[in-house]
Amino acid sequence: MFTRVRLASVACLLLLASVTVSFAQQPDSTGSARPGARPRRGSIGSQLGSSYICSGGDYGVGALPRLSLAGTFGYVVSPRWRWRVNPYFTWNAYRPGTALSSFPAVKVKDDVLTQLVGANAQVQRTGGKANWVWHVGAGPAIYRVVVQDHRNVIKDPETYELHQGTYVGATVEYGIERFMRSLPNTSLEWTVAYQTAFAKSDNRFPSGFNGSPGAIEIRFGGHYYYDMRVPKKPDGVRARAH
């Protein structure tokens, strides 16, 4: 029923994974056995997991966990601080038979789904030893929230407003990275996160689905750390090039 959503999710995952793997195949240019998350280095990665909308009124009632995808673009500021920007997508379906009495045209949530897509920006505090690094992060987000029934965006029966829009949100997460000994610039990460979009609007949605959907999730994926500064060529090499 949700074939297009699944295909889009798989396509995004394959794209992010291919970028990460292509970077990870490169040898460690620093010649160091220390983990790659050192200051003034960038990172790119992707994660796959499952999310569950647990709050937000109608958004959370009868919700069933579904796939979540996250990309990662980051920069290490210091041994204890870094920032990340994360493109993000998730969606939830609903338990068959869950009533939606305030929407006469829908009545039950059998074919309803909620999508959250957007990005968040985080400041993260890091710590750990050797090849294990943990982080706690939080920051603002921008999410587009869409509620569909039979692949069509539903309308509020009073205002006839479509249940879709772009909203400010927020995120918080905790993660643990394990850096690989043979590829010290590459890490595997387990993440627990919470996402929310401030979508409440009494004027637009008085009949229902009027709240701030909040999703908890667990993700797993990989990251590659790389030098952002291009090394300068020695004067002798420059002279021979001319």
Amino acid at site 238: R
Domain parsing of the chain, residue ranges: 3-25+38-241
Taking only the tens place, the pLDDT of each residue in 195-228 is 999 999 999 999 999 999 999 999 999 999 999 8
pLDDT tens for 174-196 read: 999 999 888 899 999 999 999 99
CATH code of the region 3-25+38-241: 2.40.160.20
Q: How far is CA 107 from the centre of its chain?
A: 31
Q: How many CB atoms lie within 10 A of CB 15?
A: 13
Q: Give the model's pLDDT for residue 235.
A: 58
Tens digits of residue pLDDT in 85-104: 999 999 999 999 999 878 88
Instruction: Please spell the DSSP secondary structure of the chain, one letter per residue.
Output: --HHHHHHHHHHHHHHHHHHHHHHTS--TT---S-S--TTEEEEEEEEEEEEEEESGGGTTTEE-EEEEEEEEEEEEETTEEEEEEEEEEEEEE-TT-EETT-TTTEE-TTEEEEEEEEEEEEEEEEEETTEEEEEEEEEEEEEEEEEETTEE-B-TTT--BSEEEEEEEEEEEEEEEE-SSSTTEEEEEEEEEEEE----TTT-TTS--S--EEEEEEEEEEEEEE-SPPPPPHHHHHHH-
Structure token digits, residue 47: 């994660």
What is the CB neighbour count within 10 angstroms for residue 62? Answer: 20
Model confidence at 229: pLDDT above 70: yes
pLDDT at 100 (0 to 100): 86
Distances (CA, A) of 58 to 140, 148, 151, 201, 238: 24, 13, 18, 13, 65
In a 13 Å sphere around the CA of 133, the CA atoms on its Cβ side amount to: 25
Q: Per-residue pLDDT tens for 57-87?
A: 999 999 999 999 999 999 999 999 999 999 9
Per residue in 15-48, pLDDT tens? Answer: 444 444 444 444 444 444 346 888 999 999 999 9
